Structure 1
Amino acid sequence: MTRVHLHPGGRLDLATGALAPRLLSRSRGGARVALVGARALLLAGDDVTLDVVVGAGCALELVEVAGTVAFDQRGGPAASWCVRVRLGEGARLTWHGEPFVVADGATAERRTDVDLARGAVALLRETLVLGRTGERGGALLARTRAHLDGRPLLVEDLDLRDAALRASPAVLGTARCLDTVTLLGARPAGEEPDALHLQGPGALARSLTADAHASGLGTTWRGWLAQLAPGRGGDEDRHPDRAGSATRPG
């Protein structure tokens, strides 16, 4: 298991598993950590677990130096990628993930669990790509769970294991790249017409494209990231206790 724990005062606890965490910079209460593959990923039967803890009042930025490919498992068992995140009171996590590619013949399960204490905020970018160039892509099941102060904030299951079903216009259609920017624990300060606002403090923006570089969510990421800069507040201060399912803004 890979471990990245940031404690108050800036103390870091790092442990290498399938991923090797490397400190890029550190300040009092803040750190920037790179995630580097310690071996070839993802192969049949791989079980990658990343445990992230950000202490109260601390700020952590995670950086991926390269994308991840789930390779053809040639009939072997599915590979899994599990991320567990726990944020203390007033903590902040930003993680701009690189593409997660599911090649032909691969079966991958991806799970992200985020547990936020009161006043904590997480900004995440996840890009899922079905297949390398010229491929249709393998099977992918992606689950996301987020809780704020012990109450559900976001629950989502994305089942892309059936190639025929995912080609439906109601799912991916002709797209093979699903890019998502998720803000948890705060509401976007500006207008984002394509964003899905959660009932509690949070939102997600999503783009379906044929190629990862064609996504237009870079602007959304930069705008929401700027909101998290010191001295910038959001709607979470006005609705600190609200949490629930996703709803379209009315």
Structure 2
Amino acid sequence: MTESLATTVRVEMVRGRARFIELRAGTFLSPRPLNVEGPFARLALVGRYATLLAGDDLRVEIDVGSGVRLELVEPSGTVAYDAQGGSASWSASVRVGVGAQLIWRAAPFVITAGADIRRHTRIELADGARALLSETIVLGRAYEDGGGPLRATMQVYSNTMPLLVEDLDLRNTAHRDLPGIIGRNRTLASVLLVGARPAKACGEHETLLAGAGALARALAPHAHEAQAAVDASWERWSELVEGRAV
């Protein structure tokens, strides 16, 4: 992997108002503040170069201070291009402070047929923190049968205790069509709620976690179909994160 700089965002509460304490552009993404209103802050992660190419190591570090509500926006998706025998990686490290909230609805992550990708997400929640994240992984472009090798891991901790530990290993592309894997589907859409727990799971796509959280996930041949299947979960759980529902 080539050496790269992480994109860093640190926002804290200063005299009752959210303030971006640190904004550092990384090699691949630049943080652009959109607006601040009281404890609420909104920020866009804007691409600086075509990514991901062989050797790229895209890293994002997010620190949400106590009492802040941060919303992250991605104006465009990420495409992992043909690595020509190489590989690339994407990782996000997120800390959500006491009573803070994070909302991150990521744009689609497309893995082309020649790509070889490693993804890792780590989220740490402090007391009373809540987070809602959405991601859509697309295996292959429209004219491709499927994407290249992928391994995606996620670790979520609440007060240092593990809440969700997940390892999605799709590196063997020949096995994806087997029963119990993904079949002919090429899109995986997920919505993850942590730090709050819905009263119940609704529909076939939702699962309650053992602790304070829930996961909605759908497989479909096309991105819009998978995303539509979990849209209702996103809308309902947004109210939980914002304290508008119980």
TM-score normalized with structure 1 length: 0.90
Matched, 1:208 2:219: yes
Aligned residues: 232
The 1:134–1:5 alpha-carbon spacing in structure 2 relative to 1, beyond 3 Å, is same
1:64 offset after TM fit, Å? Answer: 0.5
Cα distance in 2 for residues equivalent to 1:230 and 1:90? 11
Q: Report what 1:11 is aligned to.
A: 19
1:190 offset after TM fit, Å? Answer: 5.2
Cα distance in 2 for residues equivalent to 1:232 and 1:197? 17
Cα distance in 2 for residues equivalent to 1:45 and 1:108? 10
Q: Is the 8 A contact 1:19 1:38 kept in 2?
A: yes
Cα distance in 2 for residues equivalent to 1:68 and 1:211? 16
Q: 2:234 aligns to what SS in structure 1?
A: helix
Match of 1:132 among 133, 141, 158: 141
Q: Is the 8 A contact 1:176 1:211 kept in 2?
A: yes
Q: Runs in 1 of length 4+ with deviation above 3 angstroms?
A: 230-233
Cα distance in 1 for residues equivalent to 2:32 and 2:107? 16
Partner AA of 2:65 in structure 1 = G
Q: Report what 1:223 is aligned to.
A: 236
Cα distance in 1 for residues equivalent to 2:240 and 2:116? 37
Q: Is the 8 A contact 2:201 2:207 kept in 1?
A: no
1:231 offset after TM fit, Å? Answer: 4.7
Cα distance in 2 for residues equivalent to 1:104 and 1:8? 44
Q: Is the 8 A contact 2:201 2:208 kept in 1?
A: no
Cα distance in 2 for residues equivalent to 1:231 and 1:174? 39
1:199 offset after TM fit, Å? Answer: 0.6
Partner AA of 1:173 in structure 2 = G
Q: 1:4 aligns to what SS in structure 2?
A: strand
Q: Report what 1:180 is aligned to.
A: 190
Give the alignment of 1:145-160 within 5 angstroms: 145-160=155-170
Q: Deviations over 1:167-220 (max 9, x none)?
A: 122110110100000001111245413311111100101000000011211121
Q: Report what 1:99 is aligned to.
A: 108
Q: Deviations over 1:110-167 (max 9, x none)?
A: 1000000111011000101100012121111000000000100000000111112221
Q: 2:137 aligns to what SS in structure 1?
A: strand
Q: Is the 8 A contact 2:67 2:101 kept in 1?
A: yes
1:81 offset after TM fit, Å? Answer: 0.4
Cα distance in 1 for residues equivalent to 2:33 and 2:118? 28
Q: Is the 8 A contact 1:43 1:72 kept in 2?
A: yes
Structure 1 unpaired stretches of 5+:
234-250
Q: Which moved more, 1:124-133 or 1:4-13?
A: 4-13
1:226 offset after TM fit, Å? Answer: 1.9
Q: Deviations over 1:82-127 (max 9, x none)?
A: 1000011111000001110100110011100000011101100010
Q: Report what 1:169 is aligned to.
A: 179
Q: Is the 8 A contact 1:108 1:140 kept in 2?
A: yes
Matched, 1:86 2:95: yes
Q: Report what 2:82 is aligned to.
A: 72
Match of 2:245 among 215, 232, 248: 232
Tell me how large the CA RMSD over aligned residues is.
1.2
